[in-house]
Structure 1
């Protein structure tokens, strides 16, 4: 869709050139959502792809995904990581989570990690991926400082997060300890390629200690539960019961009661798979 209110597109090459940002400015990376509907209040686009961030940085401490990293690049990690880091058992989860997003291969090649997280929609597949892997985002402030916060604290509700005016999401870091864990994936949608209504992910350390379960898409923000060992069914149900009634998503793909029931069912499947 043409954005006929946009009067200027600026492509900064340095961090200090990103600012100032005003209320009529919008950050552009992939632009798949930005160009999908009218943006009458946007008059200038700031294209951050010119900053030249490496899309993926692998170190012994984990993975850094740049905000401008595309979903296609994320999905390819499921193929490349087994050779590069054979002890990172969570490799399959990257492509699995990309498939949780209702998107064509063209969108995969354009949509970005940062855009998906900053939109903060319940069905954000990168929110699902990064929350279960203890992801933490780094955010640039206009005054030249940075701050880091877990993805689970970054997203606060449906299409809402903690970004302040002038903030720019720089990257998300996934720690190696989480990447070494075995993972399990469950998704429900109204159709095989439909928008996710429920996404439940699990993670268990390879030494058998530590069990993590996340619920996304079914809820307006990510909910992550950690246990010192694999819980029994009763303990898992009790943990899920802590999700408030008003935190379950209400939209066309499913009612809150159905999402709650399906989340519990899928969580039990994951508990069994990882036991």
Structure 2
């Protein structure tokens, strides 16, 4: 879609003061999908030269905001880590064409902050940490699970940039389980639940997305029982936190989240036998 209100596209390598009507441009799959009458200038990140994915010395993995879904998928298929299959599962949750896969970015999916964003699901479930950079060059870090604060809302100040997401080595060693539900065969996710069992201390993290307006990551020092898990979900997720749109009513999303979480608990613990 043409954005008729945009008057200029600036190379992000040339630092200029941020002004009203500016927006960061990554892959552009959302920006060019619908009218954006509030925009006047796009700040293009495509020439920043950031390495899409870096394996760090401590075994963690840093994913640049400009990394495309196709690049992440290829990396996931070659990664020698227990949690590696989860990367491809979340990439496939896009249900998008190859054109979208080759343009859409990890950072764009996070910053769009849609409940059904699968990169939100992936990075929150693996306890990822977002690196944010302000206009003055200062940086801060925030957990991926806390970066999205609501449907379409994220923890970004005016002009602030999501630079990368780092997934810790310990999370990559976790055994994971993935469940997704949709009202339609090729529909948007109505509930997406991921479990991660830590082999070092036996703790279990259950992350709920798509069914809720923001990610909910529940951590248990030891795998809970069926009733304990359900009670923890219903205690953490308030009535207003269940998402409501044409892809699923809140009641259905709540039911599916609890149902899928129980499947994950059983798969990863075999009812407590790890």
TM-score under structure 1 normalisation? Answer: 0.94
Q: What is the alpha-carbon distance in structure 1 between the residues aligned to residue 125 and residue 31 of structure 2? A: 27
Q: How does 1:65-84 map to 2 (within 5 A)?
A: 65-82=63-80
Counterpart selection for 1:203 from 196, 200, 211: 196
Q: How does 1:35-46 map to 2 (within 5 A)?
A: 35-46=32-43
Counterpart selection for 1:153 from 141, 146, 149: 146
2:272 aligns with: none
Asked if 1:52 is matched to 2:45, the reply is no
Q: What is the alpha-carbon distance in structure 2 between the residues aligned to residue 19 and residue 173 of structure 1? A: 28
**Secondary structure, in 3 states, of the residue corresponding to 1:75?**
helix
Q: What is the alpha-carbon distance in structure 2 between the residues aligned to residue 188 and residue 67 of structure 1? A: 27
Asked if 1:249 is matched to 2:240, the reply is no
Contact 1:132 1:201 in 2 (8 A): yes
* Distance apart, 1:207 and its partner CA: 4.3
2:258 aligns with: 264
Contact 1:181 1:204 in 2 (8 A): yes
* Distance apart, 1:184 and its partner CA: 0.3
Q: CA RMSD in A?
A: 1.1
1:177 aligns with: 170
Q: What is the alpha-carbon distance in structure 2 between the residues aligned to residue 235 and residue 34 of structure 1? A: 42
Structure 1 ranges of 4+ moved more than 3 A: none
| Mean Cα deviation higher: 251-260 or 201-210 | 201-210
2:11 aligns with: 11
Gaps spanning 5+ residues in structure 2: where? 270-274
* Distance apart, 1:191 and its partner CA: 2.1
TM-score under structure 2 normalisation? Answer: 0.95
* Distance apart, 1:135 and its partner CA: 0.7
* Distance apart, 1:7 and its partner CA: 1.4
* Distance apart, 1:100 and its partner CA: 1.5
Q: What is the alpha-carbon distance in structure 2 between the residues aligned to residue 136 and residue 51 of structure 1? A: 21
* Distance apart, 1:192 and its partner CA: 2.6
Contact 1:62 1:176 in 2 (8 A): yes
2:128 aligns with: 135
Gaps spanning 5+ residues in structure 1: where? 83-87
* Distance apart, 1:75 and its partner CA: 1.4
* Distance apart, 1:211 and its partner CA: 0.5
Q: What is the alpha-carbon distance in structure 1 between the residues aligned to residue 212 and residue 95 of structure 2? A: 17
Asked if 1:99 is matched to 2:81, the reply is no
* Distance apart, 1:208 and its partner CA: 6.2
* Distance apart, 1:65 and its partner CA: 0.4
Q: What is the alpha-carbon distance in structure 2 between the residues aligned to residue 46 and residue 8 of structure 1? A: 9
| Residues 186-223 of structure 1 deviation map (CA, whole Å, 9 limit, x = unaligned) | 00112232111100000002246110100000000000
Contact 1:198 1:262 in 2 (8 A): yes
**Secondary structure, in 3 states, of the residue corresponding to 1:20?**
coil
**Secondary structure, in 3 states, of the residue corresponding to 1:190?**
coil
**Secondary structure, in 3 states, of the residue corresponding to 1:172?**
strand
